[in-house]
Chain A
Amino acid sequence: MLEIKNLKARVAGNDILHGLSLAVNAGEVHAIMGPNGSGKSTLAQVIAGHEDYEVTHGSVTFKGQNLFDLEPEERAREGLFLGFQYPVEIPGVNNAYLLKTALNARRAHQGLDEIDAFEFLKTAREKMAALGMDPKFLNRGVNEGFSGGEKKRNEILQMAMLEPELAILDETDSGLDIDALKAVAQGVNALRSPDRAIVLVTHYQRLLDYIEPDFVHVLSEGRIARSGDKTLAHELEEKGYDWIREAANA
């Protein structure tokens, strides 16, 4: 699904990723953990195609295609979804309109007809109910005046509607109370399937109590310092990130 080889990237003149390699297969859930400044968000932004991030070395393939040949919108239509750490408020753009436009952009790419208006509303309402979202949010401006938890739920709603093949969720758990965290985790778990891969970027182990990852990777100074199964997350929780850094430098 996603193959990252020796990736180096920089932003605003600072080298952040120093040769990162990672393979994610369909059906897998990966957690990428690491301290602040280790390059977690940079990795997410590079994969989504943010133009402020400059790739200086290495390759990334998505479903066998060179990811860097694709514009951000083409990546999205191919089935890549980035859940933002800080979802953007867009006053004046109706939430339902964005959902439908995004969905139809993906459907057109897949050779499907536009979604029927009735079917769209029905599906959106079902998914919102599952996420504990008031259906009124459909008619509000995108993330306009939403609380932190509402914004994150809205990201998960978009993901649930778009049914991506690869979802990268950047710090989706940050700033969530326990109810919102459970709702978000439930939304992610509902999407787990043999055809789909999920990458959770997170600082804390907490989210992984609700979404059980197949693999855990620890990022340190722009590369993966250690990989393991879910027990690695627990070990990190006990020993802290310094343990990895020391081990990596040893």
Chain B
Amino acid sequence: MITTPIDALRDIVGRFPTTRDEDWKYTDLARARDISSRWLDEGGTRPSETPDIADLVGDIDADWFVIANGRLADIPIVDGVSVEKINELPAGDNALAEFNAALLDSGLRLRIEGRPGKPVGLLFIDEAGSPSVSQGFVEVAFEPGSRGEVFEYHASRGTGEHYSNTILCIDIGDDAVAHHVRLQDRALDHVQTHRTTVSVGRDAHFESASFDLGGGLVRNDVAIDIAQPGATVNFAGLYLAGDGQHVDNHTRVDHRVGPATSRQEYRGILNGKCRCVWNGKAIVHEGADGTDADQANHNLLLSAHAEIDAKPELEIYTDDVKCSHGTTVGQLDETALFYLRTRGLDPQRATEVLTHAFAAGLVSRIPVEAAQEPVSRLMERRLGELIRSEEDYTA
């Protein structure tokens, strides 16, 4: 049920970021605006039934909270996690957050207490009629000293056009340990904008890995705020893109105090005509002495038509810091390909082996054990599709 007047919604859609905004220079949300406008024209309805999800998450050992077509499905009762529905959200500081707040059916607030036995599973699934729009909003707060895992899974059913706009806020209390995995495996005609904010408490630990396997137009914003000393933050991301895909990862880490450590490593594998963006920003604020920040981004381009726009950004306003960054863009190593062929592997297999090796470093870092098998399996499947889609890799 939409309570916000349609005109107000149209106004918000009209204020979505455009490529004239520096942060959106490479990512054009025209498709999100277009899907949203047509969906509003048609009355803004959503499918009411919950899609069958057993084959997606049935085998994954987690307590699942399901947000289907933007609606919160039945809420499980979980030991060590307190659950609350939220209906009123602050309006948000940009048009996408406003859109989320204005259309949200119901948000979810989870509080991790102690050490829950299983990971919290967050399944965002959309069964698209054409065209459709959904929102999702989840807050996960880790109590001081708690230790927990979150597995966030974005999936889709059907192949209709869809725009999903989601927000996840993670608040990690002092001395808490939060492990997080995000898996995005949407249909190729889906548009997704997803914002993750993380605030890290004193001596707290955040370990995260993200995997973008699908989606037609995907924009992920990650903002990590370190306002207490002693924080350790490690986050990694892998994006795979083929023909027609556009995947943009924008990350920002604010080091407001030191000492604290943040490390990020993103890797991309691109084939066919596609475009990916990685923009990693680390801001070391005045007085944040003892900051250790590292950013790395490595890309493997298997096609001459693939494009990556990679940009590390460091802003340092204090002296006692250690900051580094590195970005690479390259093709498969011809010498290694030939070596594998002299061992009896055909070019296809040799390409697969080397490409998998490139991705393996990140897959081995999945910090939620229950997510390791499904993420590896879906990643391998998608990688197989990507590699087979090109005719000749050795030319």
Contacts and interface: CB of A to CB of B under 8 A. Distances in A.
Interface string B309-343: 00000000000000000000000010110111111
Nearest to B360: A92
B339 A88 contact: yes
A82 B394 CA distance: 20
Contacts of B394: 51
A74 to B, nearest CB: 9
Most A CB contacts (10 A, CB to CB) among B333, B345, B354 go to: B345
A217 interface: no
A106 B342 CA distance: 11
Interface in A136-184: 141, 158, 162
Contacts of A109: 344
Contacts of B333: 88
B345 A102 contact: yes
Most B CB contacts (10 A, CB to CB) among A51, A72, A76, A88 go to: A72
B336 A92 contact: no
A97 to B, nearest CB: 8
A92 B349 CA distance: 15
Contacts of A101: 343-345, 349, 353
Interface string B337-376: 0111111111101100110111011000000000000000
A88 B335 contact: yes
Interface string A110-143: 0000000000000000000000000000000100
B338 A102 contact: no
Contact of A71 (B336, B341, B353, B357): B341
A98 interface: yes
Given A73-B346, A84-B339, A92-B361, 13 more contacts: A71-B341, A73-B347, A76-B343, A87-B339, A90-B336, A91-B361, A92-B357, A93-B353, A101-B344, A102-B343, A105-B349, A106-B344, A141-B357
A48 B344 CA distance: 11
Contacts of A90: 336, 339-340, 354, 357
B343 A158 contact: yes
A77 interface: yes
7 contacts: A49-B342, A72-B338, A76-B344, A90-B354, A92-B356, A101-B344, A102-B344
Contacts of B361: 91-92
A106 B343 CA distance: 9
A117 B344 CA distance: 19
Given A93-B353, A101-B353, A88 B345 contact: no
Given A88-B336, A90-B336, A76 B341 contact: yes
A79 B132 CA distance: 58
Shortest 10 CB-CB contacts between residues of A and residues of B: A92-B357, A105-B344, A102-B343, A76-B344, A72-B341, A88-B339, A92-B360, A93-B357, A73-B341, A102-B344
B339 A105 contact: no
A234 interface: no
Contacts of A102: 343-345
Contact of A48 (B335, B342, B350, B357): B342
B344 A82 contact: no
A93 B354 contact: yes
Contacts of B360: 92
Nearest to A92: B357
A72 B350 CA distance: 12
B343 A71 contact: no
B302 to A, nearest CB: 16
A51 B392 CA distance: 15
Interface string B207-248: 000000000000000000000000000000000000000000
Contacts of B347: 73
A57 interface: no
Nearest to A109: B344
Contacts of B345: 73, 101-102, 105
A14 B148 CA distance: 63
B11 to A, nearest CB: 50
Most B CB contacts (10 A, CB to CB) among A48, A75, A90 go to: A90
Contact of B344 (A73, A93, A97): A73
A77 B341 contact: no
A98 B343 contact: yes
B366 to A, nearest CB: 15
B14 to A, nearest CB: 47
A72 to B, nearest CB: 4
Nearest to A108: B344
Nearest to A78: B344
Contacts of B354: 90, 93
Contacts of B350: 73
Contacts of A77: 344
B338 A50 contact: yes
Contacts of A93: 353-354, 357
A74 B236 CA distance: 39
